[in-house]
Structure 1
Amino acid sequence: MIRLTGVELRRLTARRITLLGVAGVVLITAFLLFVTWREAEPLSALEQQQARTSFEQDHKMWNDTHVQNEAECRKTWDPNVNPGANIDQVCSYSEPKASDYGKPQAVFSQLVPQLLHGASYFLLFAGFLIGASFVAAEFSSGAIGNWLTFEPRRMRVYGSKIAAAGLWFVPLGVVVTAVLTLGTYLIAAQLGSTAGTDWSDVIGTAVRVVVTTAMGAVLGAVVGLVLRHTAAAIGLVMGYIVLVEGVFGAFLQKVQPWLLGKNFDAFVLHDTTYDIEACTSQPDGSYTCDYIQKTLTFEHGAWYLAILTLVLVVVGGVIFQRRDVN
């Protein structure tokens, strides 16, 4: 099994689409760092002066009018117009703060989770695409039949291909997350702030991104084996994103905890949130709707992804064991 996995790793490394995929990952990684650097750049002296002038004007206007505006708001307040609203919140006019004007400082602890989360998606897609192509190409060319004459034990062949797909992407995920983390740290240290960094959170997020990258390659290999065509595998993913995540996820909001995308986010980000619309009828006959925010936990996302991957790997193995390769 180890020898077979080593052979599959070498084959995967030698494939042209693998090299093209890695080149694409490198370009996207460089682009993300470039965008981060541009976003972290502080305002020019002229822009800072304009922001300061806007703050001073708004603060002066607030000083001159907020008492009168609050009094008029309370005088004309009608609880029937906004049922359930708090008069103190509605009629409160917050004092402008200088920190709200201009560009906020780039903070490493805020930048890196967002960047790694974004990287997790393109790494997942790259792993899925290359993994699907890696296995599906053998069926399209007929090479899988020749391979089974050399090693007729199908489950060993299946296991080696799945293992190779997952293992190959572990170092790629490690390198990409390390480059993004180090690059973002250097940018924040130069142009912003690195204070308050919790490295255990940063490393934890990076590890989870590496795990989902390997998972994407494994799932791609399984789907490629079942469908036997890379284009069909990509079409299946696109169909799921559009129909299930896009259409059903928007109209059937209560199914959000069972969507792949939400559980993926919950795992990578260590908890995520989603909104559910709650509508009620008022005594006066009106119909009001509010959004209730709910939390999808990391544990839920981890179990969801683990069970999904395990089930698909088992199903793929059963299909490969029983179905004719031609």
Structure 2
Amino acid sequence: MSLAKAESRRLFKRRFTSLILIGVMLVLALVAAGTFLSNQKATPERIAEAKAQAAASFQSAVQEAEREKKRCLAAPGTPDAANYPADCTQMWTPTPEEFDYTWYMPPTFDMRQNFPDMIMVFAVVLAAAAFLVGASFVGSEWHSGGMMNLLLWRPRRLQVLGTKLTVFLGWFTGLTLLLGAAWAGAFQAIALLRGSTEKMTAGVWQSFGLTGLRGLGLILAAGAIGFALASLGRHTGMALGALIGVGAVQIGVFIMAQLGGAAYPEAYLGPLWAYAWMVKEVPLENMSSCDFSANGGCKPEIFTMTWQVAGTGFAIVTVLVVGAALWALRRRDIS
């Protein structure tokens, strides 16, 4: 049996992998079910009902405004005079435009507007799963002694670790594409039954596809980093501990940057980079450089973090961590 086939069997025979994948399915199913149940289709009957509610609210507001004006006219010379303006004609008079019927409509899932958020949810869930599975896949091998036994059978260290990583990333790529297609299909059905699919052009689907590809990159980077950290520490807990440690350090740096008056303290937070990678760009404001003017108000300096910058940062971190894991395996004793 080839090493790749053996690693594939080892990956999917692990109970932890099965539990994580089942958990992923449950989370995604709950998100889809919650979206389905919390949205309703904008039928002509519901639109008519919403317009009737808006009209009723407008009439109620008109009546209340008239009562308030009568109180205002009767207020001079009484203790209530302080509660009303001197000119009662300045009091608010409701207009129909202020009672938009769409405010009375139930939530409806718009595929064009709302599905990008669902792609992000999908990417975050799969990235967390990839990190955990990748860390456990190699970490458990080191902890149990299976890696040492494997290296006795296959003494080429870098080939063994590289094959493990390649098999893991390959299977997770296939899993992500399969689940991604099912995810898009599920929300297309939700939009048809409980929302709207208007303005869904080929260009919109292409945009969804590109966002999904960026999500795949985030998932694979998370998996590779979890795998490499666990290999460096020769234990699954190393990856989890490193994740917690990096998170704590980032929060500390963010607080210190704020206290020190740094231009863009949010840029020190890893989740912001992931967000910028997924949504293509995130504007950051430097409030300490705020230029107040009589006409324009505050005009702070703005730095736009683009997906190219975020992607380059993630690529550098991934290459460094994976490279460190390969270097450590080659240089350190495996006993």
Query: How far is 1:235 from its partner?
Result: 2.4
Counterpart in the other structure of 1:322: 331
Structure 2 counterpart of 1:157: 160
CA shift, 1:57, in A, is: 4.1
23-32 or 250-259: bigger deviation = 250-259
Contact 1:162 1:221 in 2 (8 A): yes
Query: Structure 1 counterpart of 2:119, which letter?
Result: L
Cα deviation, 1:243-297, whole Å, max 9, x if unaligned, reads 41x44335535243353212211222222344443366989xxxx9887664311
Q: Which shifted more, 175-184 or 217-226?
A: 175-184
CA contact (8 A) 1:52 1:101 kept: no
Which of the numbers 257, 262, 277 marks the counterpart of 2:287?
Answer: 277
The one-letter code sitting in structure 2 at the alignment partner of 1:19 is S
Q: Which moved more, 1:17-26 or 1:161-170?
A: 161-170
Q: Give how far 1:47 is off.
A: 8.0
Give the direction of change, closer, same or farther, for the CA distance of 1:250–1:62 in structure 2 (3 Å limit). Answer: farther
Residue 296 of structure 1 corresponds to which residue in structure 2?
A: 305
Aligned twin of 1:27? 26
1:147-170 CA deviation, whole Å, 9 max, x = no partner?
111111111112111112211211
Indicate how the Cα distance of structure 1 residues 293 and 144 shifts in structure 2: closer, same or farther if over 3 A, else same.
same
Q: Which amino acid aligns with 1:31?
A: L
Q: CA deviation at 1:38?
A: 2.2
TM-score for both structures, normalised by structure 1: 0.79
- The superposition leaves residues 43-97 of structure 1 with CA deviations (integer Å, 9 ceiling, x where unpaired) of 89698454553355457879999xxx9xx9xx9xxxxxxxxxxxxxxxxx99523
Q: In 1, distance between residues paired with 2:110 and 2:136? A: 39
| 1:121 matched to 2:124 | yes
What are structure 1's unaligned runs of at least 5 residues? 76-92
C-alpha RMSD over aligned residues: 3.7
Question: Partners in 1 of 2:59 and 2:287 — Cα distance?
Answer: 40
Change (3 A) 1:280 1:212: closer
Q: Shift in Å at residue 140 of structure 1?
A: 0.8
CA distance in 1, matches of 2:330, 2:156: 9
Task: State the percentage of identical aligned residues.
Answer: 26
The superposition leaves residues 104-163 of structure 1 with CA deviations (integer Å, 9 ceiling, x where unpaired) of 542101121101101211111110001001111111111111111111111111211111
Does the Cα contact within 8 Å between 1:135 and 1:224 map onto a contact in 2?
Answer: yes
Alignment counterpart, residue 146 of structure 1, candidates 149, 152, 156: 149
CA contact (8 A) 2:131 2:224 kept: yes
- Equivalent-residue separation in structure 1 for 2:284 and 2:104 (angstroms): 29
- Report how many residues are paired: 300
1:178, distance to aligned residue in structure 2 (A): 1.5
What corresponds to 1:83 in structure 2? none
Please say if 1:200 is aligned against 2:206. yes
2: CA distance, partners of 1:193 / 1:102: 14
- Structure with higher Rg: it is 2
Residue 252 (structure 1) aligned with residue 251 (structure 2) = no
Classify the secondary structure of the residue corresponding to 1:22.
helix
Structure 2, unmatched stretches of 5+, are 69-83, 259-263
Q: For the residues of structure 1 that align with 2:211 and 2:230, how far apart are their CA atoms? A: 28
Aligned ranges 1:48-67 → 2 under 5 Å: 48=50, 50=53, 52-58=55-61
CA distance in 1, matches of 2:205, 2:288: 39
Q: Is the 8 A contact 2:230 2:237 kept in 1?
A: no
CA distance in 1, matches of 2:62, 2:240: 54
> Which letter maps to 1:206?
G
TM-score for the superposition, normalised by structure 2: 0.77
Whether the aligned pair in 2 keeps the contact of 1:62 and 1:95 (CA below 8 Å) is no
Q: Which of 105, 110, 113 is residue 107 of structure 1 equivalent to?
A: 110
